[in-house]
Structure 1
Amino acid sequence: MSFLFFTAVGLLAATLGSLVGLGGGIIIVPALIYLGPYFIGKEVSVATAVGTSLAVLIFTAFSSTWSFHKQRKVDFRSGWLYFLTCGPGAMLGSFLTQFVDATTFQLAFGIFMLIMALLLIFKGYLKPVNVRWAIQRTYTDDHGAVHTYGYGALPALAIGLVVGIISGLFGVGGGSLFVPAMMLLFRYPPHVATATSMFVIFLSSIMGTVTHVALGEVDVWMVLGLAPSALVGGWIGARIASSLSSGKLLWVLRITFFLVAVRMIWEGLG
């Protein structure tokens, strides 16, 4: 039963996470906390769920990044810039997890998921800001269309820091913030934003996991159970993202995020 549970959770989280650049932790953490007692026979603490999720994200993000790299969609130059602050931010967020009690975490995570659900609902109606940033880049898609986007070093570093802290604190990839910010502030093409986000998630997850391991907050056996299907899911999500519209799947994510957010906020307030 536990094998099937880990396989299903790892595959679902990685596929959906890779498809929209989320990373999948936003599914793994609630699954371990709420379903762990039923399927693996023990309760999973908040800190362990977060640390284990972040460790699994290494495999998800690596698989997804490799697939996107072969499709030439990853902007490594800007990705390394985001990582300068995202990596240390992930370590700081991971360190702060030990000071957050279960009730506070559930409330904070629920609010975070609710914000993510609202972002996914309204991002189609939001228009990119019309700013010509100092650093300009171009991307030619599979249809030959040329997309121009740009970014500023300081805003990029600030976004990286915020995303890194949230990533380490909640055990999520942070792509749910990265992707909208890259598209709305810097006008990244959607596929480039998703692919570059997964690259940064891969690097920052490693640094955040190191901190969680040092604090004894990573369950190695759960990581080994989740990692194989996460590798497969990361590859599947990247392939789907390159060929299919994710509109219907986004609605599944919106509804899922909203329901889980309400549940966690209810538990936190209770």
Structure 2
Amino acid sequence: MDYSIFISPCLGLFVGLLMGLTGAGGGILSVPLLVFILHLPVAEAAPISLSAIALSAGVGALLGLRNKILRYKAAAFMAMFGLILSPIGLWASQRIPNAPLLILFSCTLFYVSIRLYRQAYKEIHGIPDFEGKPPPPCLLDSSRGKLAWNIPCARALMFSGGLAGLLSGLLGVGGGFVIVPALKRYTDLPINSIVATSLGVLAIIAGGGTLFSAMSGNLDLVIAAPFALGALLGLLIGRGFGKNLSGPRLQQIFSVLTFVVAISLILKGVNSL
């Protein structure tokens, strides 16, 4: 008997809880969980992960739009380039052997875990990000309440959105670990607007990747549907507890967990060579 239909919503629930408690970056553990517990190759786990990210990020983006903190023009601009490169990543993931993909994914997790830990450390000790750097190219025009667009701003957002889309298709990650730091570095938006805008980008890119995978026959709906619904339920539960439990200390714990998963993935990838 195939128990994956019962296991996948539980995995999704766990991923959703992580997303609700730690932010959209919690979804980056979707693929490792599917690889280790359901024994899926990265190429099969990636579209399933994208379906959960698309659904969960879409709900978060709609809430941000309702609260008028989502910069929808910036989100649409970044997502446009992400959608162009996401199918290329999906195409490549179907042709690259599983072992190199595992190693590449583990390197991504190492990067994310170290960045999250440093970010939490800075927050705990009150160290500002990008201290001494020049003003960002994308500045908020307070008189209009909109971003003032220029060529350096467009170039920075275009590159960030494209990179997020490529990694999204290749590894099944949402790309929030690219989008959020980019918006922090290249804009002066408040953090709540950055998170909402990032969710908008992720919802479009992951949604496009999910649709492309379904059309090409690479999405296992039997696993993807309960996984995505479980992730959405977990996200809503996590957001309910997030005010009391979330914070930089929890981010540090999550970063350590991500680092351990990265070690496990690279060992699995090396053993598969």
Task: Answer whether TM exceeds 0.5 for this pair.
Answer: yes
- Other-structure match for 2:158: 157
- Partners of 1:132 and 1:103 in 2: how far apart? 39
Which runs of at least 4 in structure 1 moved beyond 6 Å after TM superposition?
A: 148-151
Task: Give a deviation string over 1:18-65, Cα, whole Å, max 9, x none.
Answer: 5544354422111111111xxxxxx32221111111122221112222
**3-state DSSP of counterpart to 1:99:** coil
- Partners of 2:246 and 2:23 in 1: how far apart? 14
Task: Give a deviation string over 1:100-145, Cα, whole Å, max 9, x none.
Answer: 1111011000000000011111233542633252553459xxxxxx
Q: Which runs of 5+ in 2 are unaligned?
A: none
Task: Quickly say closer, same or farther: Cα 1:27–1:181, change in 2 above 3 A.
Answer: same
* Aligned with 1:131 (options 116, 119, 135): 135
Task: Quickly say closer, same or farther: Cα 1:69–1:23, change in 2 above 3 A.
Answer: farther
Query: C-alpha displacement at 1:244, in angstroms?
Result: 6.5
- Partners of 2:77 and 2:141 in 1: how far apart? 14
- Other-structure match for 1:254: 255
In terms of mean alpha carbon deviation, does 175-184 or 63-72 score higher?
63-72
- Other-structure match for 2:196: 195
Contact 1:64 1:235 in 2 (8 A): no
Question: Are 1:104 and 2:100 an aligned pair?
Answer: yes
- Other-structure match for 2:205: 204
Task: Quickly say closer, same or farther: Cα 1:137–1:23, change in 2 above 3 A.
Answer: farther
- Other-structure match for 2:10: 8
Task: Quickly say closer, same or farther: Cα 1:131–1:243, change in 2 above 3 A.
Answer: farther
Task: Map 1:164-203; keep pairs closer than 5 Å.
Answer: 164-203=165-204
Question: Are 1:61 and 2:57 an aligned pair?
Answer: yes
Task: Quickly say closer, same or farther: Cα 1:119–1:132, change in 2 above 3 A.
Answer: closer
Query: C-alpha displacement at 1:178, in angstroms?
Result: 1.0
Contact 1:23 1:201 in 2 (8 A): no
Query: C-alpha displacement at 1:196, in angstroms?
Result: 0.9
Task: Map 1:35-54; keep pairs closer than 5 Å.
Answer: 35-36=37-38, 43-54=39-50
Contact 1:18 1:60 in 2 (8 A): no
% identical aligned pairs: 23
- Partners of 1:237 and 1:65 in 2: how far apart? 16
- Name the count of aligned residue pairs: 258
- Partners of 1:121 and 1:267 in 2: how far apart? 24
Contact 1:21 1:175 in 2 (8 A): no
In terms of mean alpha carbon deviation, does 52-61 or 231-240 score higher?
231-240
In terms of mean alpha carbon deviation, does 45-54 or 160-169 score higher?
45-54
In terms of mean alpha carbon deviation, does 114-123 or 128-137 score higher?
128-137
In terms of mean alpha carbon deviation, does 237-246 or 98-107 score higher?
237-246
- Partners of 1:20 and 1:138 in 2: how far apart? 30
Task: Quickly say closer, same or farther: Cα 1:80–1:19, change in 2 above 3 A.
Answer: farther
Report the TM-score, using the length of structure 2 for normalisation.
0.83
Contact 1:173 1:205 in 2 (8 A): yes
In terms of mean alpha carbon deviation, does 194-203 or 240-249 score higher?
240-249
